[in-house]
A and B are shown apart, each in its own frame.
Chain A
Amino acid sequence: MTSHDQISGAASGEYGRKVRAWLQQNLTDELRTDRALETPPSLEALIAFEAAQHTAGLTGITWPTAYSGHGLTLREHLEANREIGLSPMPNAVNSIGKELVGPIVMAVGEERQKQQFLPAILNMQNIWCQGFSEPGAGSDLAGLTTKAEKTADGWRINGQKIWTSGAAKSQRCLLLARTGVKEDRHRGLVMFAVPMDSPGIDVRKIRSIDGQWSFCEVFFNDVIVDDADRLGAPDEGWTAATRVLSIERATNRMYRAWRFQSEIDHLVAACRSDARTFAILNEHARELAWLRMQVELLKGHVETLVDSLMAGEEIAHRGSFPKLFWSEAHQRFATIAQQIVSRFPRNGGQVLNDAKARMQDLYLTGRAETIYAGTTEIQLDIISKRALNLRKAA
């Protein structure tokens, strides 16, 4: 058996059909992201929907059953994500918990921490945020200055985090701090699971270009954290986490290719509802066709990586390829989609209004896609250094 006939050749199996049926039953109009809603769904409604997804088998698919996971493989994860992507489902409130914290806790956490944290992520009792970036340390985490000092009863944290998505609604923060001084660079980094209601934590919201208030700054002023909430030993925890993250970069948001495809489908279906908008769409047919091909190419990146992971291969820098490819192609699509919907007739009706609202939103939120999770420039640096090993000196 060759490596590629494991996942990518697999038919959309029973698991995928189950997920599709559940979504058709449970993804109500009020929750759909392809509707121009006057009132967006409440946080409570989104949390309830996400908890129900877990029960239905849409999340925690590969997590061990001992921690409330479904104990299945990346094959089922991929099948579910195809269906999730094709549907207009809201983005996860707790994606940091599921895609970042969960894998890190499984890799470096003690057994009691796994029991404490993992089920609470899946059942939505604990929403997590990620406290890595700082005003002076974005991609360059060696510049991190948030300090963790050992005290008699735990650790004292002082510092500031920024771009902390969802901090205002989180119960826990995956915090990266340093035990020594800035000059130690990558040495002395330590991770904590900090309760967000700890005294001394101050969360301030930042408004983003799409009008949302998800971003936050988080200030830590003499915040005391229990040693029991430390994840891994200083140094060790972070080293293990970076290893986990290289795999996560390849597997997180696996639905992106199919969501991209579904957004194209939505735009085409909406434009076909009116002869005038269909004419506008046709002006962009060739460019959209190339983007539709790029959706297939993105599936090639994702499925090949899944095959590699299932074969036990190292992913290393290869996680940069789908991130870089998806973000630029999707951003390009959003630009064209915005150009198309900007020419929609006034009072075009609900179908056109829905599409217009979604495509405009995609255009604005899409600006972040080449910035977060390692900018395009960082991904290109990773490839030139790790894949090509290009010389810098004569």
Chain B
Amino acid sequence: MLDDLDPKEFEATARAVMEACGEAPDAAARAGLLAEAGLLGVSAPEDIGGLGLGLDFAIPIVSAAGAGLLGFPLIEAMLLSRALAKVAPEVAGTICTGQAVGTIAWNGTLEAGKVAAAPLAGDATHCLVFCKDGTAILIETAGLQPEMAIDDLDLELPTGAFALTAAEGPALDAAAVAALREDAKMLRAAFALGSATTCLDLAIAYSQDRVQFGKPLSANQVLRHRMSRDTLALETTRNAITRALAEPAEGAGEAREAAWQAAAHYGPAVAESAIQIFGGMGFTWEVPLHRHLRQMLTQNAHGAAAAGLAAVAARLMQTPTNSWYEDIQSAV
């Protein structure tokens, strides 16, 4: 029964599907492969065709997508099928069964007339558009010509923009949008963890294979310690995700933010470190480390990681809630 499932059991399947997706001709074919294995709707309710499992089951799948450089907006599909399940079960169902390809325009608002940073906008059938008041609307993209970005860092998921004057479609209220953004933090953290783990694994293997001055690179303490630090960085991210999923009573929101900030901070840093360990090879187009770095930095931009940290700073400057310091009078 589904109750007895462990999220880890999805890892092997997810990895195999990501590999198959690498050979698939287009987004629709990838959607089919992902849906067939039940990966798109793993955390979506059963009544729309999902598996009805928690967000923790999506974590290893999204990690595998990051590791496998998946060319499909999996994070967006998972977010949309969860968020829309109640307000638009039909379209949510088509997204989680792979019949429709959903994306999210992470930049801009409807009111500004243009929304951008929508991964795979050219192949998407639907796109979620944010509004100024914190709500969002799901539009159909049929008949709309996306303007594809020419400055994307990411090579796996080209983004596009849509010019809009009005929008029609199922709407998410502000609370639903806020919940979607919280889920997105966890999924992006998992994505970066998978991507960065692949980078470190490649660097560890290379360092033990490459011989210079009669010994493998891994014999040098300066590189051993570098890889130990990278290991600590990823272990920190992994444990933070585990803790955030458990929603600790003392602050589930801070725990999610920390997991996301850890991934946003350590993920690209581990990829940079791997490039350094590879030396000249690390700077080549052929070695995929730069692809990982590019996709992680793009996730940081989509998820507005820097703005997230600025918000933490703003909260931190407020009066602390620690009862041992509540008697100190504030003068500001």
Known contacts A12-B249, A82-B250; A269 and B316 CB within 8 A of each other: no
Find out whether the CB atom of A2 lies under 8 angstroms from the CB atom of B56.
yes
Find out whether the CB atom of B239 lies under 8 angstroms from the CB atom of A304.
yes
B257 at interface (Cβ–Cβ under 8 A)?
Answer: yes
Residue interface mask B245-258, A partner, CB < 8 A = 1: 11111110011011
C-alpha gap A102/B248 in the complex (Å):
30
Find out whether the CB atom of B317 lies under 8 angstroms from the CB atom of A281.
yes
Find out whether the CB atom of B309 lies under 8 angstroms from the CB atom of A290.
yes
- Inside 8 A of A379's CB, which chain B residues have their CB? 228
The segment from A59-67, A260-268, A338-346 found at the interface with B is: A260-268
- Inside 8 A of A34's CB, which chain B residues have their CB? 324
C-alpha gap A383/B316 in the complex (Å):
33
Q: Which of A11, A274, A392 contacts B331 (CB 8 A)?
A: A274
C-alpha gap A100/B284 in the complex (Å):
51
Find out whether the CB atom of B258 lies under 8 angstroms from the CB atom of A297.
yes
- Inside 8 A of B302's CB, which chain A residues have their CB? none
C-alpha gap A58/B227 in the complex (Å):
39
- Inside 8 A of B239's CB, which chain A residues have their CB? 297, 300-301, 303-304, 321
Known contacts A392-B218, A393-B215, A394-B216; A269 and B208 CB within 8 A of each other: no
- Inside 8 A of B204's CB, which chain A residues have their CB? 388, 390
Min CB–CB distance B332 → chain A (angstroms): 5
Find out whether the CB atom of A4 lies under 8 angstroms from the CB atom of B331.
no
Q: Which of A4, A290, A390 contacts B227 (CB 8 A)?
A: A390
The segment from B22-30, B71-79, B230-238, B286-294 found at the interface with A is: B230-238
Find out whether the CB atom of A390 lies under 8 angstroms from the CB atom of B207.
yes
Residue interface mask B33-74, A partner, CB < 8 A = 1: 000000000000000000000001000000000000000000
Find out whether the CB atom of B255 lies under 8 angstroms from the CB atom of A296.
yes
Secondary structure class of chain A's binding surface, majority of residues: helix
Find out whether the CB atom of A5 lies under 8 angstroms from the CB atom of B330.
no
A51 at interface (Cβ–Cβ under 8 A)?
Answer: no
B319 at interface (Cβ–Cβ under 8 A)?
Answer: yes
A187 at interface (Cβ–Cβ under 8 A)?
Answer: no
- Inside 8 A of A198's CB, which chain B residues have their CB? none
A207 at interface (Cβ–Cβ under 8 A)?
Answer: no
- Inside 8 A of A262's CB, which chain B residues have their CB? 322, 324
Known contacts A4-B245, A293-B309, A297-B236; A268 and B316 CB within 8 A of each other: yes
Find out whether the CB atom of B324 lies under 8 angstroms from the CB atom of A86.
yes
Min CB–CB distance B325 → chain A (angstroms): 4
- Inside 8 A of B255's CB, which chain A residues have their CB? 296, 299-300
A351 at interface (Cβ–Cβ under 8 A)?
Answer: yes
C-alpha gap A292/B308 in the complex (Å):
13
B320 at interface (Cβ–Cβ under 8 A)?
Answer: yes
Q: State the total of A-B contacts with C-beta under 8 angstroms.
A: 184
Interface residues on A, range: 35 or more
- Cβ-closest chain B residue relative to A320: B232
- Inside 8 A of B236's CB, which chain A residues have their CB? 297, 300-301, 321, 325
- Inside 8 A of A8's CB, which chain B residues have their CB? 242-243, 246, 248
Find out whether the CB atom of A393 lies under 8 angstroms from the CB atom of B216.
yes
Find out whether the CB atom of A10 lies under 8 angstroms from the CB atom of B215.
no
Known contacts A268-B320, A272-B328; A289 and B216 CB within 8 A of each other: no
C-alpha gap A321/B244 in the complex (Å):
18
A331 at interface (Cβ–Cβ under 8 A)?
Answer: no
C-alpha gap A11/B218 in the complex (Å):
44
- Inside 8 A of B215's CB, which chain A residues have their CB? 392-394
B225 at interface (Cβ–Cβ under 8 A)?
Answer: yes
A241 at interface (Cβ–Cβ under 8 A)?
Answer: no
Find out whether the CB atom of A380 lies under 8 angstroms from the CB atom of B228.
yes
C-alpha gap A182/B259 in the complex (Å):
47
Q: Which of A24, A304, A324 contacts B232 (CB 8 A)?
A: A324
- Inside 8 A of A289's CB, which chain B residues have their CB? 309-310, 312-313, 316
Known contacts A10-B249, A296-B254; A391 and B228 CB within 8 A of each other: no
C-alpha gap A380/B223 in the complex (Å):
11
B219 at interface (Cβ–Cβ under 8 A)?
Answer: yes
Find out whether the CB atom of B319 lies under 8 angstroms from the CB atom of A269.
yes
Residue interface mask A375-394, B partner, CB < 8 A = 1: 00101110110011011111
Min CB–CB distance B155 → chain A (angstroms): 29
- Cβ-closest chain B residue relative to A377: B225
B211 at interface (Cβ–Cβ under 8 A)?
Answer: yes
- Inside 8 A of B320's CB, which chain A residues have their CB? 264-265, 268-269
Find out whether the CB atom of B324 lies under 8 angstroms from the CB atom of A2.
no
B280 at interface (Cβ–Cβ under 8 A)?
Answer: no
C-alpha gap A20/B323 in the complex (Å):
10
Q: Which of B229, B232, B316 contacts A285 (CB 8 A)?
A: B316
C-alpha gap A321/B254 in the complex (Å):
21
A15 at interface (Cβ–Cβ under 8 A)?
Answer: no
A278 at interface (Cβ–Cβ under 8 A)?
Answer: yes
- List the 10 closest A-B pairs by CB distance, nearest first: A296-B258, A289-B313, A9-B246, A11-B249, A383-B228, A265-B320, A300-B239, A384-B224, A269-B325, A265-B322
23 contacts between A and B (CB under 8 A): A4-B242, A4-B246, A5-B246, A9-B247, A86-B323, A264-B316, A265-B321, A268-B319, A269-B319, A272-B330, A275-B331, A293-B262, A293-B312, A296-B258, A300-B243, A300-B258, A318-B235, A380-B228, A384-B228, A388-B227, A390-B204, A390-B227, A394-B216
Q: A9-B249, A286-B313, A292-B312 are in contact. List 6 more A-B contacts (CB 8 A).
A: A2-B56, A269-B330, A273-B331, A278-B332, A293-B312, A393-B219
Seen from chain A, the residues whose Cβ lies within 8 Å of a Cβ on chain B are 2, 4-5, 8-12, 20, 24, 34, 82, 86-88, 261-262, 264-266, 268-270, 272-275, 278, 281-282, 285-286, 288-290, 292-293, 296-297, 299-301, 303-304, 318, 321, 324-325, 351, 377, 379-381, 383-384, 387-388, 390-394
